[in-house]
Structure 1
Amino acid sequence: MMPDFDPSEHFELLSAYIDQELSEEETTKIKSLLQNDQRLQHEYQQMLRLRAKLKNLPQPSPIILPEQLAAQVLNRVKQQERKRSKWGWSGGAIAALSVAALSGLFTPIPSRLPQLANSSDQDAKFLVMAINQVSREQMNSRLMIPLNQPLAGIPK
């Protein structure tokens, strides 16, 4: 060890050396001390590890004024109320759809399939289908609606 430094000052000198707060002369002296003293090297390594751990600590949140805190709390309350109201409507809609679906499953509904599929051959002779031509008898029928003459007047 060098006689210029008192062993009780080592901690402060190492700290100043790590923070690069020493003069050139003090820096060269502490470097030579580090090369010659195992205990000082160990202390230096511990300080470096401690410094790295301190840098990785979470930063404290900034100070919040009471007015800002109150505004943040009220905003969160409003957000939670909005979420609850959305779920309330959603729950009601889901319940209504469930009731409608279940009632549709258990209520007999008459078949909406064309009844022609179940008709016999005797019923088929009464069926008339006009593809391109209409007979004169059918043209005089009251059930025929001419396509070029609308039933009600169309306003212009």
Structure 2
Amino acid sequence: MYTLGGARFAAQLRNIHNAGLIKTHTKKLLRSANVSIEKVEEWKRTQGPVLLHHAIVHKFVQNPQLRAKLLETGNALLAHTYERDNIFATGCDKEKMLEWAKNHNGQIIKIPTKIDNGTLMYIPLVGEGKNILGFINMKYPEER
């Protein structure tokens, strides 16, 4: 939000702790700032992965209990299922993702060492999306 709408808009999200409400409020703020959908999509492909990576790493550094839960997942495939986002999520719902996982059981998924706008094209589809959020979470233990 900060890079698209500025500090004033980003500050309005600071005290909202529900992810769904944050998403809804963010959309309203971006519309009020006349930020186009095209601009948001461009941000997702360029600045988004790097900023998301930074935020996720700091989330786990600051929260030992959450970090412990993540480490318990081991080598599991972590998938962010959201049918309206095929960049940060799988682009499909939970049922479609489970079907995809069943059909791809045992296959190796190769993820670039660094996830950023230069490597986005090399990130494989999981379900119907890039699942960047899931992959960043999976890579965190390697980066500690």
| TM-score (normalised: structure 2) | 0.19
- Structure with higher RCO (Cα < 8 A, 6+ apart): 2
Structure with higher Rg: it is 1
1 or 2, which has the higher helix percentage?
A: 1
